[in-house]
Structure 1
Amino acid sequence: MNDPHQKRESDKYDNPIPSREYILEYIAKQPHSFYDLCDALEVTGKQKKPLTHRLKAMVRDRQLNMNREGMYDIFDTERDIVVGTINANPKGFGFVVLDEGGKDLRLSAYQMKQVFHGDRVKVRMLDQRGDSEIIEVLKSLKTVVGRLHINSEKSWIVVDDRRICNNIIISEISDDNKNEQIVIVEIAEAPTLKELAKGKIIQILGDYMDEGVETEAALYRNGIPVDFSEEALAQTEHLPTEVTAQDKQDRVDITDMKLVTIDGEDSRDFDDAVYAEPTSNGWKLVVAIADVSHYVEEGTALDMDAIERGNSVYFPRRVVPMLPEAISNGLCSINPDVERLCMTCEMNIDSEGNLIDYKFYSAVMFSHARLTYTKVGKILEDHDPVLTQEYASVMGNLNALYDLYKALKDARTRRGVMDFDRIETQILFDDKGKISNIVATSRNDAHKLIEECMLMANQATAKYLAKNDEDFLYRIHPKPTAEKVEVTRQFLTAVGLTLEGGEQPETKHFAKVLENAKGRDDENIIKTVVLRTMKQAVYTPANEGHFGLAFEDYTHFTSPIRRYPDLLVHRAIKRVLAKKTRKPSKRMVELGAELSVTERRADEATRDVEKWLKCEYMRDKVGETFNGIISGVMGFGIFIELTDVYTEGMISIRDMKDDYYAFDDIHHKLKGERTGKTFQLGDTIKVQVASVNLDDRQMVFIPST
């Protein structure tokens, strides 16, 4: 090694490594990898780790660049700079999701001081592990929602989105501002490594504990539109309030068919009506869906607003509709005893529950009864004589539907469909808008009957449009990854269950596990673990099948009032009927991605509000004791789902002071080294509520003595 600065390095270090000057001189000739440098500079043994640190420091000090292949080159401000979007973690660090794809780059908590979640940035990689630094913020967040804090010295905002750890200084407050208000803030000065962001309050949503303020905050934080455009509202005003004679032209009249709607007690928008009758070899099933596409035409202001929303959003005490209520709850809602326009899917199904054939047609219909799941359950399962007499005119339809459902249920079992009929919860409110209780809800045969009818119609629709090579979106559910399958298999083995099927088990193999778990104390936990194994269903024009339902062809057809993909499907059906088919387009690819995002956005917003409300409910229960089931085990603690009030919290391993607990990730358990005591997924446990943090939507438990 002919390093001219070797003596200086030898004086400083016991194991001298090449000087920065010599490294720069060598790399200036051509880029080198770490191992190339070790060979060329005769670096061996204990010198390699110090050289790694020196190279990293030279990248940090902008003497060298390192690309994603691990090649070092002389620093150039424009070389190896990549662009991406900040994905922040509530613990302070973050990642950069690169526009060009590939593995995300990492940002330290220090680097994250200068950006918000969602910001667009230029970054460069510091080392081959993916650590990076921000070169430039290209686009920063403009507004945030958060809680105002005021004291004698300063005012600041704690941002409601927990992925944003940076507080925002408020330099001016008005007489209308009060401590603990939930406000919208406009960012006046972006944060830097040394200074917090500065902002200005532009809107007050309400006081911290006001009724509905948590929903307002979630809507704003997730960018969910609430108000319709003036153009869309004007277009709505020009629509008729009832079906006109002109609307009925060229439609099949099925008003005499004993179609009924079956929905929840509090439903207001009715998408679908059903009818069945026996045939010589099975049943004829008719699913009539509100013809939203007749009133919401492609490219109009109403259509643009619907695309922006993507779907209706359902909160515990509020609905943000995809379409104005005059349409969703009025003109297009299949209300009883009024004519409505519909798109009809008529199917023949054999005695084994198999789809034989199908056809589609535009029709005008009449709902002969507005039924609820509760009433239909009492009629079909309990044979309630009073309700049976009250709905005598449609009993022929209900009995045929029930017989058909039993055949479809058997076919579902033969297909090996997973049964995720988990315990769901409903939040109940008192007259003052405060939570009075959190109760479990269950599905009866009426729920399942409607579900099976909709599944058949969705499947028939996908086959029909695929056959005609139309431009529409499939609803696909990809297979789970081999890595997730292996983790789940290890857990199942630990609790005495077997997942068959090798590296790529089929739906039926997971279904068998769920069937074997029925009746166990940890049944709900097993369902949760299997559910977490699955990928998320998405919208795309490329058909990959639906793994969860075990369907080769599947789409969404049955809810055009509240889901935009269904509206696209209705338009595609009409193009086929009019013999004006449209080939698959690039725009449909874009819409699939956009609508998958709006769906996730709605899910995140509703989950967040539910967490907030459940935490609010538990605030005055600090110190009380509850029964629970361990729903998750990690190295830092255990998650507990309370069995009495259906909420979840965590016991930190720091609060398990009776022993030192080691984490067994294979068996999903913590085990005490001295006592041998275990905390395992699915175990029952008694806990005490230690604290409730509304800002973080978190409850902290401690083991009950």
Structure 2
Amino acid sequence: MLDKDALASLKGLKSQMEAEKERVDATIKGTQSRYGFAVLDDGREIFVPPDEMLKVLPGDRARVCVHPGREGKPVADIEKLIESPMGEFVGTCVTKGKAFFVQPDFGTLTRWLFVPPHARNGAKAGDHVRCAMLRHPIKDGKPQAKILRVLGNHSTPGIENQYAVASFGLADEWSPALQKDVEAAVEAGIILEGRVDLTALGFVSIDAAKTQDIDDALYAETTADGWTLYVAIADPADYIKPGSRLDQAICARATSVYFHGDVIPMMPELLAQQTCALVEGEPRPALVLKADINNDGEITQFKFIEAIIKSHGKLSYYAVDRYLSGNNEDPVMHTSAVEALYQLYRVLRERRSVNELVMEDRQEFRWVLNDQKQIESIEPNEKLTSQKLVEECMVVANRCAARFMLEQQSSGPFVAHSGFRADRLDEAKQFFERFAPELLEVDPTTVTGYRQIMATLASSEHELPLRQMVNRLLTRASLTTAGGAHMGMALPAYTNCTSPLRKYADLLVHRQLKALLRDQVDTGIEQGVLDGLSQSIQTARDACIYAERWLAANYLKKLTGFKRQVPLGAVVAQISSSGFIARLTDSGLEGFVDLRKDPEKFSFDKWTASLTSTTRRFQLAQEVAVYCVGFDPKTRVINFELVPDCGLKTAG
């Protein structure tokens, strides 16, 4: 038996151990290994051992007990689950013996989740599925999942797109209630009184041949000192009441999503493809820009008109392009309109090229899909003159909309681009000192200065690709309530208003323009709404990239077998301290070359955008040869390896 002193010592030790414990709420962070970390609200990351990680899932919010572990390092034990964000998720069905599991595609979660027989919903091994948690592992470390929907397997046509839609939580169906709302809105109609009748003007739409949600039509006529341009834009705003259930659903989608082989429309088809689409031969409500443009390409005056228009022809990009090159007579009945638009386009493009900034043409590629919605071939594809023509007309409409809202002190939305990041201005100055000292006295925070910098770098004959190298110092364009410069286009203000059937931000601009035309109160766009739209748009973009990488990996596997036998020509498209993105010359497909795995050690120079070892050197825009060796099944990033002797330094 222990004496009183020993018992007292034990009690004291126990009290000391309890005193050293800390019970706090934390967010669980998983890793690719079995252990994890508890991220406390004060920023500390406490080690969670494997046995404790069995009780939780990555992202869980839990009460943990922090106490000293081996060598005095703190360890977190899981005491109580507070909440789990893992609701619905996607994964792939797998079996082990007679047991059936789903391998989840959810963050860093690597463990398989057991699916009991009653929760399998007809799924088979190899099926890609959408699931939900059936039983959390907090009690005994044995989680269970249930299958909500079978998406298909590797041989299902379009499975890459379907999986991306489910993985990123994109809405791809309309509920019966929303369908009824759309039908009721269309049946109720809109007030046409007060709209200007422009049906006699020879509007034509120029778009892809298969396009059904036609949201713009063009007409131009020559004048004594230039042209009058009319840009008619589909006008769904009066059918969709702000704040309504339908409006909220469209806002949540934010944009139409264009996958290869599939489209998820932002707006119900009854509106986007029928009631509001500017289809040939049908009178349609439209918001019309009428702009007078002189022979120098300057917009001398403009106004927006709520109108009724009628498209006199649905023309395809290819047909118009062939007509303009003298190889096609299809649009002959619209010759005067097309010819006027073409002549106007040439003047507008020339003016923008000289006075503003036009995005440089980059080699584009067209994917040809087979019946299985897999890539059959990839062909070089140049941007057509007809596409550039439409683009210039849209730029006119967008910049006029921005100018009108700015003059009327509207709350936007505008599209702003501030150019160089504020925290990178000193670095930009150092860049100019090294490579373009003639730009040191130019102010990069002004539209004029930014344009001069970009134009100079683009035309530079320097051995390094200076224009590409400076991209890391630039911001991205954003939606804002305050009108500001769009440096990327070298314009004092800009917005987007020409795709209200496909982009919710454009629909918001329509509401603002129509409110101004009707002398109504500004609808008061809030920045939080625009930030939410931007996030939704980014999610849709990420889903498309995910599906595209998967399709590209399938194609390259078919082409190369992921074996180091088929060298592929490429160019360094992006570069960082860990390696570089290589873009294949013949197809435009991209993959990552990870130089961290290379036996040689490479040093990264941000100024020259290069990676250098003892024997080799790689820099931005450099031609390289690579093997395609596989892809990451979670991110679908394609993995390249360098062909031996690639990138060797020049002797001497």
TM-score normalized with structure 2 length: 0.82
**1:687 paired residue among 626, 629, 642:** 626
1:666 aligns with 2:607: yes
1:638 aligns with 2:584: no
Q: Kindly state the Cα deviation for residue 486 of structure 1 after the two structures are TM-superposed.
A: 6.4
Q: How does 1:571-610 map to 2 (within 5 A)?
A: 571-582=511-522, 584=524, 588-610=526-548
> Do the aligned partners of residues 215 and 637 (structure 1) sit closer, same or farther apart at CA in structure 2, a change above 3 Å counting?
same
* CA deviation map 1:95-145 (0-9, x unaligned): 9899xxxx987687979957767666899999xxxx998997545221110
Aligned counterparts of 2:161 and 2:47: Cα–Cα separation in 1: 32
Q: How does 1:264-303 map to 2 (within 5 A)?
A: 264-303=208-247
1:516 aligns with 2:516: no
* CA deviation map 1:124-176 (0-9, x unaligned): 999xxxx9989975452211101122121754433335x33343412414483
Report if the CA contact (8 A) 2:341-2:389 is conserved. Answer: yes
Residue type of the alignment partner of 2:232: A
Q: How does 1:204-243 map to 2 (within 5 A)?
A: 204-238=150-184
Aligned counterparts of 1:669 and 1:93: Cα–Cα separation in 2: 35
Aligned counterparts of 1:339 and 1:296: Cα–Cα separation in 2: 19
Between 144-153 and 246-255, the greater mean CA deviation after superposition: 246-255
Report if the CA contact (8 A) 1:497-1:513 is conserved. Answer: no
Q: Kindly state the Cα deviation for residue 321 of structure 1 after the two structures are TM-superposed.
A: 0.7
Residue type of the alignment partner of 1:221: S
Report if the CA contact (8 A) 1:484-1:533 is conserved. Answer: yes
Q: Kindly state the Cα deviation for residue 270 of structure 1 after the two structures are TM-superposed.
A: 0.8
Report if the CA contact (8 A) 2:62-2:83 is conserved. Answer: yes
Report if the CA contact (8 A) 1:416-1:511 is conserved. Answer: no
Q: Kindly state the Cα deviation for residue 377 of structure 1 after the two structures are TM-superposed.
A: 2.1
Report if the CA contact (8 A) 1:148-1:179 is conserved. Answer: yes
**2:373 paired residue among 433, 436, 442:** 433
* CA deviation map 1:317-350 (0-9, x unaligned): 1111111112211121111122111111111223
Q: Kindly state the Cα deviation for residue 198 of structure 1 after the two structures are TM-superposed.
A: 3.5
> Do the aligned partners of residues 367 and 512 (structure 1) sit closer, same or farther apart at CA in structure 2, a change above 3 Å counting?
same
Aligned counterparts of 2:366 and 2:279: Cα–Cα separation in 1: 25
Aligned counterparts of 2:111 and 2:373: Cα–Cα separation in 1: 30
**1:613 paired residue among 535, 540, 551:** 551
* CA deviation map 1:574-632 (0-9, x unaligned): 222222223635xx333212211111111111111111110111123122221111223
Report if the CA contact (8 A) 1:419-1:511 is conserved. Answer: no
1:701 aligns with 2:640: yes
Aligned counterparts of 1:581 and 1:617: Cα–Cα separation in 2: 54
Aligned counterparts of 2:170 and 2:301: Cα–Cα separation in 1: 40
Aligned counterpart, 1:338: 282
> Do the aligned partners of residues 108 and 489 (structure 1) sit closer, same or farther apart at CA in structure 2, a change above 3 Å counting?
farther
Aligned counterparts of 2:295 and 2:38: Cα–Cα separation in 1: 54
Residue type of the alignment partner of 1:275: Y
Aligned counterparts of 2:505 and 2:61: Cα–Cα separation in 1: 29
Report if the CA contact (8 A) 2:394-2:498 is conserved. Answer: yes
**1:177 paired residue among 123, 138, 143:** 123
Between 440-449 and 224-233, the greater mean CA deviation after superposition: 440-449
Q: Kindly state the Cα deviation for residue 412 of structure 1 after the two structures are TM-superposed.
A: 1.5
Aligned counterparts of 1:560 and 1:179: Cα–Cα separation in 2: 43
Structure 2 portions without partners, runs of 5+ = 1-11, 68-73, 645-652
**1:447 paired residue among 376, 387, 390:** 387
Report if the CA contact (8 A) 2:136-2:143 is conserved. Answer: yes
Report if the CA contact (8 A) 1:106-1:132 is conserved. Answer: no
> Do the aligned partners of residues 370 and 492 (structure 1) sit closer, same or farther apart at CA in structure 2, a change above 3 Å counting?
farther
Aligned counterparts of 2:31 and 2:94: Cα–Cα separation in 1: 23
Aligned counterpart, 2:70: none
> Do the aligned partners of residues 219 and 497 (structure 1) sit closer, same or farther apart at CA in structure 2, a change above 3 Å counting?
farther
Q: Kindly state the Cα deviation for residue 305 of structure 1 after the two structures are TM-superposed.
A: 1.8
Aligned counterpart, 2:9: none
The number of residues matched between the two structures is: 610
> Do the aligned partners of residues 201 and 652 (structure 1) sit closer, same or farther apart at CA in structure 2, a change above 3 Å counting?
same
Could you say what secondary structure the match of 2:390 adopts? helix
Aligned counterpart, 1:649: 591
Q: Kindly state the Cα deviation for residue 560 of structure 1 after the two structures are TM-superposed.
A: 0.7
> Do the aligned partners of residues 148 and 176 (structure 1) sit closer, same or farther apart at CA in structure 2, a change above 3 Å counting?
same
Aligned counterpart, 1:307: 251
> Do the aligned partners of residues 576 and 700 (structure 1) sit closer, same or farther apart at CA in structure 2, a change above 3 Å counting?
closer
Residue type of the alignment partner of 1:698: V
Aligned counterparts of 1:226 and 1:203: Cα–Cα separation in 2: 14
> Do the aligned partners of residues 354 and 645 (structure 1) sit closer, same or farther apart at CA in structure 2, a change above 3 Å counting?
same
> Do the aligned partners of residues 177 and 456 (structure 1) sit closer, same or farther apart at CA in structure 2, a change above 3 Å counting?
same
> Do the aligned partners of residues 95 and 264 (structure 1) sit closer, same or farther apart at CA in structure 2, a change above 3 Å counting?
farther
> Do the aligned partners of residues 150 and 522 (structure 1) sit closer, same or farther apart at CA in structure 2, a change above 3 Å counting?
farther
Structure 1 portions without partners, runs of 5+ = 1-20, 26-57, 65-74
Aligned counterparts of 1:214 and 1:479: Cα–Cα separation in 2: 36
> Do the aligned partners of residues 439 and 485 (structure 1) sit closer, same or farther apart at CA in structure 2, a change above 3 Å counting?
farther
Report if the CA contact (8 A) 1:288-1:342 is conserved. Answer: yes
> Do the aligned partners of residues 479 and 495 (structure 1) sit closer, same or farther apart at CA in structure 2, a change above 3 Å counting?
closer
Report if the CA contact (8 A) 2:627-2:643 is conserved. Answer: yes
1:368 aligns with 2:312: yes
Aligned counterparts of 1:475 and 1:701: Cα–Cα separation in 2: 37
Aligned counterparts of 1:515 and 1:628: Cα–Cα separation in 2: 22
Q: How does 1:34-183 map to 2 (within 5 A)?
A: 137-152=82-97, 154-161=99-106, 163-173=107-117, 174=120, 176-183=122-129
Could you say what secondary structure the match of 2:312 adopts? coil
Between 151-160 and 248-257, the greater mean CA deviation after superposition: 151-160
Aligned counterparts of 1:108 and 1:269: Cα–Cα separation in 2: 53
Report if the CA contact (8 A) 1:615-1:693 is conserved. Answer: no
RMSD: 4.0
Report if the CA contact (8 A) 1:656-1:703 is conserved. Answer: no
**1:559 paired residue among 499, 503, 521:** 499
* CA deviation map 1:538-580 (0-9, x unaligned): 2221223322122222222111101112212222222222222
**1:466 paired residue among 406, 424, 428:** 406
Could you say what secondary structure the match of 2:418 adopts? coil
Aligned counterpart, 2:7: none
Aligned counterparts of 1:427 and 1:462: Cα–Cα separation in 2: 35
Could you say what secondary structure the match of 1:369 adopts? strand
Aligned counterpart, 1:186: 132
* CA deviation map 1:289-321 (0-9, x unaligned): 011113223233322221121111111111111
Aligned counterparts of 1:108 and 1:281: Cα–Cα separation in 2: 75
Aligned counterpart, 1:30: none
Aligned counterpart, 1:568: 508
Aligned counterparts of 1:402 and 1:670: Cα–Cα separation in 2: 46
Aligned counterparts of 2:335 and 2:203: Cα–Cα separation in 1: 11
Q: Kindly state the Cα deviation for residue 247 of structure 1 after the two structures are TM-superposed.
A: 5.3
Report if the CA contact (8 A) 2:102-2:115 is conserved. Answer: no
Could you say what secondary structure the match of 2:522 adopts? coil
Could you say what secondary structure the match of 1:157 adopts? strand
Between 641-650 and 483-492, the greater mean CA deviation after superposition: 483-492
Aligned counterparts of 2:493 and 2:128: Cα–Cα separation in 1: 46
* CA deviation map 1:426-462 (0-9, x unaligned): 3221133322012333212221221121111111112
Identity of matched residues, % = 25
Residue type of the alignment partner of 2:399: Q
Aligned counterpart, 1:383: 326
